[in-house]
Amino acid sequence: MMEKQRYWRNADNQWGLVSRLLHWVMAIFIIGMLAGGLYMAELPNSPFKFELYGIHKAIGIFILLFLIFRLVWRISQTIPTLLRLPQPQQFLAKISAPLMYLVLFIMPLSGIAMSQAGGHPISVFGWVTLPEMIGKNPELGKIAATIHQTTAWILIALIIMHILAAFYHQFCRKDYLLTRMWKKI
Ligand code: HEM
């Protein structure tokens, strides 16, 4: 029983199975949303484009729900200790998680605001339609669209830095940071 619990949950030097699964599954979906979002926004208007918008919005809502769960899980768990680094890397490592969460929350929330202020309903694969929290407001819609687009590029930059930092740890400092996010060490 104890063993099982330890495996699911984080420990002082180890991410538990739930955290590792959330990290990798969400990484795939978020990178897919960035690539898919940039692709669909460039398409000329067509039924195909609007079908992609529908899929993008529905997956975005799922990402938001998983993000809330992930944050609650993180707060309720031990966080594996940060590996010792010289300044300013130590500072960057400390702020990277809160910054990543902030940017990740802005993406779906600005997407919801953009759609609803633009007067477009948000249906999750036809199963449920989100209640209207924001009435039609083209001005607000434009602001939300600018936030969504700009934050997408900030997120892309953060993801690139995140990957470079992980490789720096794994291959230059050889401190197994990437390994501990992948499997039990
Ligand atoms: C983590 C979640 C999300 C990511 C990473 C993401 C990413 C993106 C990206 C990269 C674009 C292209 C921006 C551009 O260059 O114009 C885009 C466009 C768009 N997104 Fe998202 N998005 C997310 C969630 C959502 C959600 C939840 C909604 C609505 C419910 C949404 C609605 C839209 C719409 C309508 C567009 C098209 C904007 C246009 O044509 O100008 N997104 N998204």
**Looking at ligand 1, which residue's alpha carbon is closest to its atom 32?**
111
Q: Find the 119 Cα to ligand 1 centroid distance in Å.
A: 15
In whole angstroms, what is the distance from residue 180 CA to residue 10 CA?
Answer: 11
Is 168 touching ligand 1 by the criterion CB < 6 Å? no
Structural domain spans, the chain: 2-182
Structure tokens of 57? 């919005």
Residue in 134, 148, 151, 158 to alter for ligand 1 test, most ligand atoms within 8 A of Cβ: 148
| CATH of 2-182 given 1.20.950, 3.30.160, 1.10.10, 3.30.450 | 1.20.950
Given a cut of 80, is residue 82 above it in pLDDT? Answer: no
Q: Tell me how far apart the alpha carbons of residues 177 and 54 are, in angstroms, rounded to a whole number.
A: 37
pLDDT for 99-153, tens place per residue?
A: 999 999 999 999 999 999 999 999 999 999 999 999 999 999 999 999 999 999 9
Binding site membership of 106 for ligand 1 (Cβ less than 6 Å) = no
What pLDDT, on a 0 to 100 scale, did the predictor assign at position 2? 47
Please determine, for residue 1, whether its predicted confidence score (pLDDT) is greater than 50.
no
* Distance (Å) of CA 24 to CA 20, 51, 115, 161: 6, 26, 28, 17
